[in-house]
Chain A
């Protein structure tokens, strides 16, 4: 056989082999791999290119080596799922670099990290001030993760004692001007509903690039023609405002009327409505 035919044949086979094999390898982003992972990837890549270029005289030798370098990491992955000991050998252990706000110089030197590098890593985690850091740890991938002191952490709604409504993921119902039945059925709506909503907004289906429905059933549209302004759904804000208006009206009536019974009734209902408003606030104004 001609050499070029062998090369072509080998390369095509290996191309698909690599494609399949990488499917079975652990999913890791390249920035998150340990040095060992990196080396095993590189070795696999080199072996594949050597076989594909027919540099290895006996192709079976090449395939044996390739199998070892592909299978061993997979075996180790499964083994480290079962045993903590093997996991530690494969991945190493994370190292605490700041504890209780104090830098652990010993651990820093074990990782052969200079103070400057350390500060740089902290800065990349938005911790510019060492005094703000409560805890920092170097992961096995070499990443540094930082936990700020409690009073320097970003404020959450929990800190403010404010209730926020749960938001489930939105469903995409229109893509490239086509209705997506899957998204619609996921939220229990149908094409009729979508047509009505589009009609209400005065938008043609063909003009919609992306349409999403959030958990409360509000439709958000992005159009191909960016000159057209889609009316933003403000039903919730309007609802909140109109309930508030009713509450204010009831208060006014209770002040206006001279009839004792009516006064009491208005006042009672105004208070009821105020409670309703308090409860609805996190859901309607978000």
Chain B
């Protein structure tokens, strides 16, 4: 596995966690817990954006691995 595909895999895992957290933040009835889920969801979204940028850079630097 190349670095690019590894990062992409992590990115996918993060996206999954983000979606689940989002779901819980909507589903949870307890306000406090719901706020924690929402906060975590936002943090992970930021990290996700950083990673997406990195993936872009990697693909730009090593176009032969693009799409893997």
Partners in one complex: yes
Interface residues of A (CB under 8 A from B): 165-168, 187-188, 215-217, 235-236, 239, 242-243, 245-246, 249-250, 253, 256-257, 262, 265-266, 269, 272-273, 275-276, 279-280, 283
A245 to B36, CA, bound (A): 20
Given contacts A217-B24, A269-B50, A273-B47, 10 further A-B contacts (CB under 8 A): A165-B30, A215-B33, A216-B30, A217-B28, A217-B29, A235-B20, A239-B21, A265-B54, A272-B46, A283-B36
Contact partner, B28, options A216, A245, A249, A279, Cβ 8 Å: A216
Contact partner, B30, options A215, A262, A269, Cβ 8 Å: A215
Contact A249 B6 (CB under 8 A): yes
Contact A253 B17 (CB under 8 A): no
Contact B32 A272 (CB under 8 A): no
Interface size of B as a range: 20 to 34
Q: Which of B7-52 contact A (CB under 8 A)?
A: 7, 9-10, 13-14, 16-17, 20-21, 24, 27-30, 32-33, 36-37, 39-40, 43-44, 46-47, 50-51
Contact A253 B36 (CB under 8 A): no
Contact A242 B13 (CB under 8 A): yes
Q: Report how many A-B pairs have Cβ atoms within 8 Å.
A: 81
A179 to B24, CA, bound (A): 23
Contact B29 A272 (CB under 8 A): no
Known: A242-B13, A250-B10. A168 touches B30 (CB 8 A): yes
17 A/B residue pairs, CB under 8 Å, sorted by A: A215-B29, A217-B27, A239-B17, A239-B24, A246-B10, A246-B17, A249-B6, A249-B9, A253-B3, A253-B6, A253-B7, A256-B3, A262-B57, A266-B54, A272-B47, A280-B36, A283-B33
